C-alpha cells in the first residue's frame, strides 16, 4: 500500500507528463473539436510577441487586484472573527452576515460595483469578498482551538478577556489562520477575475470574456493558463508560509 518518497515522485511526474501529453495529442488532432487547442499552441500564443505584452500587463493587473483584495478581505475577516470572540452577543449575527454575503451571487453585485465603485475598484472589491469568507471560516475555527484548561489557567492568573485573546487564542489560531489564507488566495483570484468581467480596463478576466465572445480560442486558454499559474504560485507560497508556522507553533 505505502510507497516510498522517490517512487511517489516518479509516479507523480509521470502522471503530469501523461496529462500534458494527452492534452497535446487531443488538441493537435482536434478530436474534441476546434475549441480544444494543443498545449504548445496555447504556450506559443502566450509568448508570441504580438500578445506577450498584453498578457504581461493583464497578468500584472490581475495579480495586483487579487493581492489588494486578498489583504483587504483577510483583514476584514480577522476583525469580524475577533469580534465573534470578544463580543459574544454579536456572534450569531456575524455568522449569518458572512454566510449571506458569501451566497450573494457576485454576478449581480458586479454591475452595481461598476457603477458605484468604478471599473478599477470592482475587481478588488469582489476579490475581497471571496477572500473574506474563506479567511473568516479559518480564523473562527482557529480561535476556538485553545484548550479550556489554558483559558482557566490564564483567568486564574488574572488575565483579562483581551489578554487571553492576545496571548492564548490568537497564537493558538495561527495554524488555522494560515490554512484560511491558503484557501483565501485562490478565492481572491477568482473574485478579481470575475470582477474584471464587468469591464475592467485590463486584466486576465477581460481577456477571458472578450476571447470567449470573439472566438479567440488560444487567447482564452492562454489567459486560463496564466490564471492557473498565478493561483498555483500563490498556493505554493502560502503552503510554505503555513509549514513554517506549523513548525514554529506545534
Partner 1 sequence: MTGFLASSATDQGIRWALNSFRWALNRYWGVILLIVLWHAWVSIKGYNMIVMPPPSAVAHELIVNADKYIGPMWITFLQALIGLAGGMFFGIALAIVMWFSPVAGGLITPMALVLRSVPVVAMIPVLIRSIGFGTTTVVVVTIIITFFPAFVLCATGLRNLPPNSNDLFGVLGAGRLDRLCRLALPAAVPNILVALRLTAPISVLAAIVAQFLMGSNGLGLVIVRGTWNYEMNEAWGAAILSCTLSIVFFIFASSIEQKGRKHWT
CB of 158 to partner 1, least distance (A): 31
**Shorter beta-carbon distance to partner 1: residue 77 or 154:** 77
**Shorter beta-carbon distance to partner 1: residue 72 or 208:** 208
CB of 203 to partner 1, least distance (A): 11
CB of 166 to partner 1, least distance (A): 25
Separation of alpha carbons 43 and 41, rounded Å: 6
Nearest to 182 by CA among 115, 249, 137: 137
**Shorter beta-carbon distance to partner 1: residue 6 or 158:** 6
**Shorter beta-carbon distance to partner 1: residue 164 or 182:** 182
Element holding 176 (H helix, E strand): helix 170-197
CB 142 within 8 A of CB 180: yes
**Shorter beta-carbon distance to partner 1: residue 91 or 151:** 91
In the complex, the residues that contact partner 1 under the rule CB under 8 A are 1, 3, 7-8, 11-16, 18-19, 32-33, 35-36, 89-90, 92-109, 111-112, 115-116, 186, 189-190, 193-194, 204-205, 208-209, 211-212, 215, 217, 220-221, 224, 227-228, 231-232, 235
- For every residue of 8-56, DSSP letters joined together read HHHHHHHHHHHHHHHHHHHHHHTTT-TTS--HHHHHHHHHSHHHHHHHH
CB of 155 to partner 1, least distance (A): 25
All cell numbers assigned to 53: 505584452
CB of 60 to partner 1, least distance (A): 17
- C-alpha 74: how far from chain center: 11
What SS3 state is found at 157? coil
Amino acid at each position: 500500500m505505502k510507497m516510498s518518497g522517490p517512487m511517489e515522485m516518479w509516479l507523480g511526474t509521470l502522471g503530469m507528463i501523461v496529462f500534458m501529453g494527452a492534452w497535446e495529442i487531443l488538441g493537435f488532432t482536434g478530436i474534441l473539436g476546434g475549441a480544444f487547442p494543443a498545449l504548445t499552441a496555447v504556450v506559443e500564443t502566450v509568448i508570441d510577441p504580438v500578445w506577450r505584452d498584453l498578457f504581461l500587463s493583464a497578468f500584472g493587473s490581475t495579480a495586483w487586484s487579487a493581492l489588494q483584495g486578498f489583504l483587504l478581505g483577510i483583514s476584514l475577516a480577522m476583525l469580524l472573527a475577533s469580534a465573534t470572540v470578544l463580543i459574544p452577543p454579536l456572534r450569531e449575527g456575524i455568522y449569518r452576515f458572512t454566510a449571506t454575503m458569501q451566497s450573494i451571487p457576485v454576478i449581480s453585485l458586479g454591475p452595481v460595483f461598476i457603477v458605484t465603485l468604478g471599473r478599477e475598484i470592482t475587481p478588488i472589491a469582489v476579490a475581497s469578498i471571496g477572500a473574506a469568507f474563506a479567511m473568516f471560516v479559518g480564523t473562527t475555527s482557529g480561535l476556538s482551538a485553545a484548550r479550556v484548561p489554558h483559558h482557566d489557567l490564564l483567568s486564574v492568573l488574572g488575565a483579562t478577556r483581551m489578554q487571553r485573546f492576545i496571548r492564548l487564542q490568537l497564537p493558538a489560531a495561527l495554524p488555522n489562520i494560515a490554512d484560511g489564507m491558503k484557501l483565501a488566495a485562490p478565492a481572491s483570484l477568482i473574485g478579481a477575475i470575475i470582477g474584471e468581467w464587468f469591464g475592467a480596463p485590463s486584466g486576465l478576466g477581460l481577456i477571458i470574456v472578450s476571447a470567449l465572445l470573439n472566438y479567440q480560442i488560444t487567447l482564452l486558454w492562454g489567459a486560463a493558463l496564466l490564471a492557473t499559474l498565478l493561483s498555483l504560485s500563490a498556493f505554493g507560497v502560502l503552503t510554505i508560509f503555513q509549514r513554517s508556522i506549523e513548525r514554529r507553533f506545534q
